[in-house]
Amino acid sequence: MQQLGRETAAAFPDNGVLARDLGEMFRRVHYYFPDFKVPPAVTYVSGFLSKDIYVNDSLLVLSLDWFAGPKASKRPDLPQYMLRRYTPAGLLPLLTQNVSSKYNRHE
């Protein structure tokens, strides 16, 4: 777990950049869905024992170790085509999809 924590910290070295990117993403979601309320966000290293992203109206939890990238010593147990998305650059697109799925119509 300690090694995974170090590798995750190396993949996300600046929490300010992540906070800025989350703020921009929330601003865009709110633009398209005005009733969207920004939930408090929490990040942690799960050891792949829980979901990658958990979001509801009152909380956003990001398990950053899922997104440490291909150089990490441990990766989630997923098919390779899915693992390609689990990189630092893939975090915001997957998060945006999770947040906005509440508003997408399914017919």
Domain boundaries, the chain: 2-100
Distance CA 63, CA 61 (A): 7
**Per-residue model confidence (pLDDT) at position 101:** 85
pTM: 0.88
Arithmetic mean of pLDDT, 4-17? 93
Average pLDDT, the chain: 92
Q: Model confidence over 79-91: pLDDT tens digits?
A: 999 999 999 999 9
- Residue percentage of the chain with pLDDT more than 90: 81
Instruction: Name the pLDDT band for 31 (thresholds 50, 70, 90).
Output: very high
Element (H, E) at 96: helix 91-100
Partnered with residue 54 across adjacent β-strands are 61
